Amino acid sequence: MGTGGGGRKRGGLSAEDRALWAEVTRTARPLRTQSPRPAAANGPAGPAGPSAPVPPGQTATSPAAPASPPRRPVPSAGSASTAWHGMRPGLSAAAAGPVQALGPSTPGLDRRTAERLRRGKLAPQARLDLHGVTLARAHRLLEGFLRDARGRGLRCVLVITGKGRKRVEGWRETEGGALRDSVPRWIGTPPLSRLVVGIYPAHPRHGGGGAFYVYLKRGG
């Protein structure tokens, strides 16, 4: 059987098909590899690309981790911010309170009165002995004593605390003594601070390191 007018051979391409294919292969261009779009600043990260080559003699390093936020410092037990908070009353490494040394220019006292107190020549008009008393009860007794003394017009009173080497409420006091530390602090803060001129160390004849003079304001 003869071939048709298209010139197609049995089992092969016609001259027209070969010419068309040659034109396709001549004009075709290879597809470009699509590069990944840059990730948006806040968008999801794209797939990680290949790592950059590392020069000989060097080691690859991982990206730096983000710095964690700084932690707030925790105040230590003896720091200034916790000196009088969260502690057993009267225990502190800080100064006990507003105890003033007696001298020629003692605040609140004239020179003659300060000198008489310093020499133990001014006898206290009343005294409160807190030996062996618990801290909670001592605070109540001290407030009542000072209010009563001021109401009676007294000026100089003596508060005896002891040197604090006994046991109080089952726990041992510090060498300075819980009461000896607490009494000046109580007197130096309201409401007791409104009643007194000052608190001063007692002369040895009136108790020395285990007692204080408290000089009261005049009753109003």
What is the structure's pLDDT at 112?
A: 92
Give the residue-averaged pLDDT of 38-65: 51
Task: Please indicate, yes or no, whether the overall pTM of this predicted structure exceeds 0.75.
Answer: no
Q: What is the DSSP code (8-state) at residue 103?
A: S
Q: Please name which of 96, 80, 79 lies closest in space to residue 176, comparing C-alpha atoms.
A: 96
Report residue 14's pLDDT band, with 50, 70 and 90 as the boundaries. confident
Q: What is the pLDDT of residues 99-111, one digit of tens each?
A: 888 877 787 889 9
Taking the C-alpha atoms of residue 9 and residue 7, their distance in angstroms, rounded to an integer, is 6
What is the structure's pLDDT at 189?
A: 92
178 C-beta neighbours (distance < 10 Å), count: 24
Of the listed ranges 3-7, 9-13, 163-167, the least confidently predicted one is 3-7
Cβ burial of 84 (10 Å; 0-12, 13-18, 19+) is middle
Q: Please name which of 144, 154, 137 lies closest in space to residue 213, comparing C-alpha atoms.
A: 154
Q: What is the pLDDT of residues 117-136, one digit of tens each?
A: 999 999 999 999 998 899 99
Q: Please name which of 101, 92, 109 lies closest in space to residue 176, comparing C-alpha atoms.
A: 92
Domains delineated in the chain = 98-216 (3.30.1370.110)
Taking the C-alpha atoms of residue 37 and residue 50, their distance in angstroms, rounded to an integer, is 15
Q: In the beta sheet, which residues pair with residue 167? A: 172
More confident residue, 28 or 218: 218
195 C-beta neighbours (distance < 10 Å), count: 18
More confident residue, 83 or 144: 144
Rg of the Cα atoms in the chain: 47
Per the structure block, which two tokens stand in for 118? 């310093």
Q: Please check whether residue 179 is in contact with residue 162, taking contact to mean a CB–CB distance below 8 angstroms.
A: yes
What is the structure's pLDDT at 74?
A: 45
Q: What is the pLDDT of residues 89-98, one digit of tens each?
A: 333 323 334 7
Q: What is the pLDDT of residues 163-218, one digit of tens each?
A: 765 454 444 444 348 999 999 999 999 999 999 999 999 999 999 889 999 999 98
